[in-house]
Amino acid sequence: MAQPQRNIDSPTSSGWYGWIVFAGTMMIIAGAFNVIQGLVAIADDEFVIAGPNRLVTFDLTQWGWVHLILGIILVLVGIALFKESMWAVIAGIIIVSINMITQFAFMSAYPVWSIVAIAVDLMVLWALIVHGGEAAD
């Protein structure tokens, strides 16, 4: 016997799932970029140049590890968002907030990329805060 398919236009569909898919997809993409950024900083810290008035307080190799670990966590939580779990929404809010702070601190090394990453994180944060609560329903 065939299982009934979920109709997008049905009254039970609230439309929130599209925003969660968006947030998860953007978290996976941002996490992948963080992993690349971290690997570059770890492999060759001369490639990443910070200006004289920098906010970066650690060695750039240490920042590479921070970005690598955050990137992996962002990818994993982004994948977990597709399972419609509330813990993934809460973890996503926390991890994206931490990523925004680290991107701000890394801004002296790559200002344009950091601003783009912060903007993407803001969109993901908005999607998770506004529509993430509906994941529990």
Does 83 fall in a domain?
yes
Does 100 fall in a domain?
yes
Q: Is the pLDDT of residue 12 over 50?
A: no
Does 7 fall in a domain?
no
Does 10 fall in a domain?
no
Give the number of other CB atoms < 10 A from CB of residue 115: 13
Does 116 fall in a domain?
yes
In sequence order, what are the residues at sequence separation of 6 or more whose Cβ sits closer than 8 angstroms to the Cβ of residue 24? 78, 79, 80, 81, 82, 92
- Domain extent at residue 24: 16-45+55-136
Does 6 fall in a domain?
no
Instruction: Say how many domains are in the chain.
Output: 1
Question: pLDDT tens across 46-99, in order?
Answer: 655 555 665 555 667 787 898 899 999 999 999 999 887 889 999 999 999 999
**CA–CA gap between residue 74 and residue 72 (Å, rounded):** 5
Q: Which position has the token pair 């690349």?
A: 36
Model pTM? 0.77
Does 109 fall in a domain?
yes
